[in-house]
């Protein structure tokens, strides 16, 4: 005989899981990453395997180390709503943000393959900020954008893959390069900061970070605010890609980077290395951005694959404690 209870109990369990249960958090670890997420076990494993592979190539090619010389912690939310609650206002609509420290921490939303680039961009930015501080911020950020889309394959890795975002239609031609080159992380965050929380800066806290007190600092903040209204992230990726891959820029790419690393202003670097003014570089960039497709390098790359990530239960309280630090 059919009992109504046999139908009601499963429905109540399903309703509880749908509306009342908190998301399941897990702690997944690999040799160089420490991941807390309420995504699935499979998503966590796939993400860490990807990050280990691209990290190995990235650090070898840039002759650098992990931020702080230790494993990086990642907190990945499944829900954009939950992530938005912890994302500081100065990071706008970014799908990931990061903070240096012991350990360095990246907070993001999503662990789908198309989300990897946002997380690894933050990892690369932390590395460049720590190990290549003499390079201007725009180039460090451009490198982070470029390396964020590394795509590992069987015995090879692809560099220069276009981000999932369509940068070809992002208004790059209207970017003011002079303002973009004046951008620095400290003044960028300071111009957007509402509560005075400083997650990472180019230099120790100073009057430039806490507020402009003279004409030069005021100008820097105005440049940052103006650049924020433009699609500078798209321009950073496209310009870095151009000087690394375009046939007229590629042969002197290393010389250009070395020149800026010695402290030369960007405009001087383009003039002395390439014999081009910023106006000419801007014109080249507009043409480059209109190309129907861009080159990417398929490079030989083999590395010793680490063991599968280890996964243990975690709690939302664990995550809240991490984010409070």
69-125 residue pLDDT tens: 999 999 999 999 999 999 998 888 889 999 999 999 999 999 999 999 999 999 999
318 is a domain residue: yes
* Residue 56: CATH number of its domain: 3.40.30
Structure tokens at 255: 């010389």
Per cent of the chain over pLDDT 90 is 62
**Could you please report the per-residue DSSP string of 165-205?**
S-GGGS-GGG--HHHHHH--HHHHHHHH-SS---S--SSSS
Identify whether the C-beta of residue 221 lies closer than 8 Å to the C-beta of residue 210: no
112 is a domain residue: yes
Distance CA 302, CA 304 (A): 7
Q: How many structural domains compose the chain?
A: 1
The pLDDT value given to residue 229 = 40
Distance CA 85, CA 323 (A): 11
Which structural domain, as residue segments, surrounds residue 65?
24-133+306-325
Element (H, E) at 156: strand 156-159
Give the residues of the chain that fall short of pLDDT 50: 1-20, 194-201, 203-213, 217-230
47 is a domain residue: yes
10 is a domain residue: no
The pLDDT value given to residue 90 = 82
Distance of CA 15 to the CA centre of its chain: 38
30 is a domain residue: yes
Single pTM value for the model: 0.82
Strand order in the sheet with 151-152: 151-152, 156-159, 297-300
158 is a domain residue: no
Buried b (16+ CB within 10 A) or exposed e, 146-181: bbbbbbbeeeebebbbebeeebeebebeebbbebbb
- Which residues contact residue 292 at a Cβ distance below 8 angstroms, ignoring those fewer than 6 apart? none
200 is a domain residue: no
245 is a domain residue: no
């Amino acid at each position: 005989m059919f009992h109504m209870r046999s139908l009601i109990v499963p429905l109540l369990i399903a309703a509880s899981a749908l509306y009342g249960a908190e998301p399941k958090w897990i702690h997944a670890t690999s040799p160089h990453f420490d991941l807390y997420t309420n995504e699935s076990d499979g998503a966590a494993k796939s993400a860490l395997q990807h990050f280990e592979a691209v990290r190995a190539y990235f650090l070898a090619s840039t002759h650098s180390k992990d931020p702080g010389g230790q494993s990086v912690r990642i907190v990945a939310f499944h829900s954009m709503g939950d992530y938005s609650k912890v994302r500081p206002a100065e990071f706008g609509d970014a799908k990931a943000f990061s903070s240096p420290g012991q350990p360095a921490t990246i907070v993001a939303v999503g662990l789908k393959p198309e989300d990897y680039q946002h997380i690894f961009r933050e990892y690369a930015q932390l590395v460049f900020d720590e190990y290549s501080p003499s390079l201007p911020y725009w180039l460090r950020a451009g490198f982070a954008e470029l390396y964020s889309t590394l795509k590992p394959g069987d015995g090879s890795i692809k560099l220069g893959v276009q981000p999932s975002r369509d940068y070809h239609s992002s208004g790059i031609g209207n970017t003011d390069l002079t303002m973009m080159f004046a951008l620095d992380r400290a003044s960028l965050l300071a111009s957007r900061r509402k509560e005075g929380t400083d997650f990472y800066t180019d230099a120790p806290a100073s009057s430039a970070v806490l507020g402009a007190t003279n004409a030069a600092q005021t100008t820097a903040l105005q440049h940052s605010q103006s650049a924020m209204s433009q699609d500078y992230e798209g321009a950073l990726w496209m310009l870095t890609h151009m000087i690394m891959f375009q046939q007229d820029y590629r042969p002197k790419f290393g010389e250009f980077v070395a020149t800026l690393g010695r402290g030369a202003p960007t405009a001087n670097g383009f003039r002395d290395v390439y014999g081009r003014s910023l106006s000419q570089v801007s014109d080249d960039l507009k043409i480059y951005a209109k190309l129907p497709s861009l080159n990417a390098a398929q490079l030989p790359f083999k590395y010793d694959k680490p063991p599968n990530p280890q996964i243990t239960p975690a709690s939302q309280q664990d995550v809240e404690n991490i984010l409070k630090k």
